[in-house]
Amino acid sequence: MKPHVALRGVTRVYPGKTPVYALGPIDLALERGEFFAVVGPSGCGKSTLLDVMAGLASPTAGEIVFEDRPVNGDVPPGIGVVFQEDASFPWLTVHDNIAFGLRQAGASEAEVARQVGYAIEFMGLKDFARAYPAQLSGGMRQRVCIARTLVLKPRLILLDEPFGALDQQTRLLMGDELLRLWRETGATILLITHALDEATMLADRVGVMSARPGRFLDVIATDWPRTRDSTIVASESFGRLTSRIWTLLRGESIRALGRA
Amino acid sequence: MSSAGWTRIALVAGLVLLLEALCRAGVIPNFTVIPPSAMAQSLWKVLASGKFTPDIIATLTNVGIAIAASMVVGIALGTLLQSWPAARRVLDPLFATYYAVPMYAFYPLLIVLFGLGDLPQVAIGFLLAVMAVIINTLNGLDRVPPVLVKAARVHGLGFLKTAHRVRLPYAAPYIFTGFKLAVAYSFIGVIGAEFITSSRGIGYEISFAYNNFDNPVMYAMILFILALVVTVNMSLHAWEKRLLARRRRA
């Protein structure tokens, strides 16, 4: 079967007097409906990888193919992105934030009301539809951003440390919600995270990246059932997998720290 | 109301009463200043007579045009410059010295250019106001978090739509500051210009009354401008507070 999204020899170099080799070369193929997580030491180019995959930045070399079309410097329809930083629009209510993309795409107001109503319900934001982002907690604002992405029914969702700013309990619960929406939408997900447990718990496969310039040291399959949830953190194989990833990553993290 | 608010009201009321007392006692002669109560009475008479209604309408129309033009041009230029750093580096030092230029010095030139109608007054108001809008638009756009611009790109927005739907709305509180200044500068520019060479308007009538020793009319019109500008600014301030409330972290 053809991969849903494929990267071949993707490299990103920031030019200058001393060029910065930020990423790659990266080769990666994601199956349709797969949940893939990327972990790596800080500054290894994880976010650059996401930018290049989303079409927010062009690769210096190599190519990205999404649904048989090359991605280069433009975000193709069908790709949704959730960022680490708060990307909610502070001048719009929760409802209007979530409706933003639909209205942009020219959906009728009846359609907007229906879709946004469903997303608000799904993300547990029902009591906050008329609130402004400033009145919400960080976790709530991130839900708004996820809902804004979801209503556009993306077939590939890229998440850049979406729960990075949240506390541990909220992160586990948000992880459960992410698994739920992954199952319900059937979308392909690429999640970038620095939290090993998050990667192990959520993903079908975990790509472990090296220190800069980031490339994959190994890709580890988790073999979780599709119906998993956060309770698997208690299982024996969860600990085994997480420690395997950490063994791979430890030396790289030390290298990254030494250079910082 | 806060205690500072009450103190402020008491301060203004006290000064008005003091002026009233000094005028009534003859310490300040009536051909210099008339008592505030007489100003208010005269204002009431002048407004009721309708004699100056065309002047008031002319002034307010010109101020309105100056505000609108400075907002449209200021926001457009600010947006353009913010996304064109090379041009901005060239112009920035000129912007910094802009308010050192006494705009009224150009009044003769403006009359040559625009004739003796309303346009020179509008032009002075516009010239004073537009830079405040440009500077505050730039300031607001500089603060737009890059992640919001990224989010706009993910939603497929081009340059103009990103400006219209994301960057300018984010910058709105800063642009509002520019708007408040534009309102103040437009009043200053238009009314000031009416003093110089104009055949109508509030500024013209004050100047005319002054030249004819008509203190009741002169002070009535001064009081009118004062009341108008204070009311407008307080309304804008209240509006701004309401707009900002929703943006502030709870």
pLDDT digits 0-9 by tens, A9-55: 888 888 888 888 888 788 989 999 999 999 888 777 888 889 889 88
Say if residue B171 is in the same domain as residue B192. yes
Is the CB of residue A37 less than 8 Å from the CB of residue A202?
yes
Give the start-end residues of each E strand in chain B.
none
pLDDT value, residue B178: 95
Instruction: Compute the average pLDDT of residues B180-200.
Output: 92
Q: Nearest chain B residue to A83 by CA: give it.
A: B147
Higher pLDDT residue, A165 or A62? Answer: A62
Average pLDDT on A193-214 reads 85
Nearest to A190 by CA among A1, A29, A22, A12: A29
Whether the predicted pLDDT of B19 surpasses 80? yes
- Among residues of chain B, what percentage have pLDDT more than 90? 80
Tell me the shortest Cα–Cα distance from B246 to chain A, in angstroms: 6
B26 and B149 housed in the same domain: no
Q: Are B203 and B194 in contact (CB under 8 A)?
A: yes
Same domain as B78, residue B9: no
Q: Which helix (DSSP H) or strand (DSSP E) does residue B8 occupy?
A: helix B3-24
Locate A179 and state its tokens.
């698994």
- CATH code (residue B157): 1.10.3720.10
Bridge partners for A189 per DSSP: A35, A157
Q: How confident is the model at residue A161 (pLDDT cuts 50, 70, 90)?
A: confident
B121: confidence class by pLDDT, cuts 50, 70, 90 = very high
**Residue B190 clears pLDDT 70, i.e. is over it:** yes
If asked whether residues B92 and B184 sit together in one domain, one would say yes
Q: What is the pLDDT of residue A180?
A: 87
Are A134 and B248 an interchain contact pair (Cβ–Cβ within 8 Å)? Answer: yes
pLDDT at A252 over 90: no
Average pLDDT over residues B228-244: 91
- Residues B7, B20, single domain; the answer is yes
Question: How many angstroms separate the CA atoms of B74 and A258, rounded?
Answer: 49
* Subunit contact A56:B150, Cβ cutoff 8 A: yes
Residues B227 and B192 placed together within one structural domain of the fold: yes
Number of H helices, E strands in chain A: 7, 10
The whole-angstrom distance between residue A145's C-alpha and the CA centroid of its chain comes to 12
Distance separating alpha carbons of residues B107 and B121, to the nearest angstrom: 9
Is A78 in the B-facing interface, judged by CB distances under 8 Å?
Answer: no
Rounded CA separation A154/B150 (Å): 17
Does residue A198 have a pLDDT over 90? no
**Which one, of A7, A161, A9, lies nearest residue A70 by Cα?**
A7
pLDDT at B117: 87
- Whether the pLDDT of residue B36 is over 90: the answer is yes
Task: Confirm or reject contact between A14 and chain B (CB < 8 A).
Answer: no
For residues A105 and A100, what is the distance between their CA atoms, to the nearest angstrom? 9
With beta carbons less than 8 A apart as the criterion, state whether B122 and B69 touch. yes
Strand ranges of the sheet holding A216-221, from the earlier edge strand across to the other edge? A79-82, A156-160, A188-192, A35-39, A205-209, A216-221
Tell me the C-alpha distance between B243 and B4, whole Å.
23
Query: Strands A5-14 and A61-66, how do they pair?
Result: antiparallel
**pLDDT grade for B169, boundaries at 50, 70 and 90:** very high
What is the arithmetic mean of pLDDT over B211-227? 93
Residue A255 has pLDDT above 80, yes or no: no
Query: What is the helix (H) or strand (E) element at residue A141, kind and residue range?
Result: helix A138-150
B242/A contact by beta carbon, under 8 A: no
Q: How far apart are CA A117 and CA A94, in angstroms?
A: 11
- Preceding omega of B102 cis (within 30 degrees of 0): no
The reported pLDDT for the residue numbered A217 is 82
Tokens of A11: 């490299």
Same domain, B117 and B166: yes
Q: In this complex, do B172 and A85 lie within 8 Å of one another by their Cβ atoms?
A: no
B172 close to A (CB below 8 A)? yes
CB A173 within 8 A of CB A124: no
Binary contact (A83, B166; C-beta < 8 A): no
> Minimal CA–CA distance to A214: which of A82, A20, A36, A6?
A20
pLDDT above 60 (res B250) = no
Return the sign of the alpha-carbon dihedral for residues B203, B207, B212, B213: positive
Asked if residue B246 lies in contact with residue A132, where contact means CB atoms within 8 angstroms, the answer is yes
Phi, psi for A216 (deg, rounded to 5) = -80, 120
**Cβ distance A219 to A205 under 8 Å?**
yes
Give the pLDDT confidence score for residue B132 in this predicted structure: 95
CB-CB contact of B240 with B181 (8 Å): no
Summary mean pLDDT of chain A: 86
Stretch A233-245: mean pLDDT, rounded? 83
Same domain, B46 and B127: yes
- Contact residues on chain B for A75, CB-CB shorter than 8 A: 153-154, 156
Q: Where are the alpha helices (DSSP H) in B99-201?
A: 107-114, 119-142, 146-154, 159-162, 168-196
Spatial distance between the Cα atoms of A156 and A144, rounded to a whole number of angstroms: 18
Asked if A209 contacts A45 with a C-beta cutoff of 8 angstroms, the reply is: yes
pLDDT at A259: 60
B19 and B110 together in one domain: no
β-pair partners for A214 = A23
Contacts of residues A232-237 at CB distance under 8 Å and 24 or more positions apart, as own/partner, are A232/A201, A233/A172, A233/A197, A233/A201
Tell me, yes or no, whether B95 and B117 share the same domain.
Answer: yes
Domain count, chain B: 2
Burial of B4: CB neighbours in 10 Å, binned 0-12, 13-18, 19+: exposed
The answer to whether residue B85 scores a pLDDT higher than 70 is yes
pLDDT score at B249? 61
Average pLDDT on B117-136 reads 94
Q: Tell me, what's the pLDDT at B166?
A: 94
How sure is the predictor about B158, in pLDDT bands with cuts at 50, 70 and 90?
confident
Band of pLDDT at residue B152, cut at 50, 70 and 90: very high
What is the predicted pLDDT for the residue at B194? 93
Apex CA A155: angle with CA A154 and CA A159, to 5°?
Answer: 70
Which of A59, A65, A48, A57 lies closest to A7 in space, CA to CA? A65
Average pLDDT over residues A162-176: 80
Which residues in chain A have Cβ-Cβ distances shorter than 8 Å to B165? 100, 104
pLDDT tops 60 at residue B47: yes
Interchain CB distance below 8 Å, B248 and A100: no
What is residue B233's predicted lDDT score, i.e. its pLDDT? 92
Nearest to A91 among B151, B169, B249 (CB): B169
My answer on whether B137 and B229 are in the same domain is yes
**Any idea which residue has 């405040």 for tokens?**
B132
Q: Do the beta carbons of residue A87 and residue B147 sit within 8 Å? A: yes
Place of tokens 């004073």: B128
CB of A204 closer than 8 Å to CB of A34:
yes
The 3-state DSSP class for residue A67 equals coil
- Best of A56, A85, A91 to disrupt the B interface (most B CBs within 10 Å) is A91
The size of the A-B interface in CB pairs under 8 A is 56
pLDDT band at A168 (very low <50, low <70, confident <90, very high): confident
Report angle CA B144, B148, B151 to the nearest 5 degrees.
160
Domain span at B28: 1-33
Q: State which amino acid sits at residue A70.
A: P
Does B147 lie at the interface with A, CB-CB under 8 angstroms?
yes
**Domain match, B11 and B103 both:** no
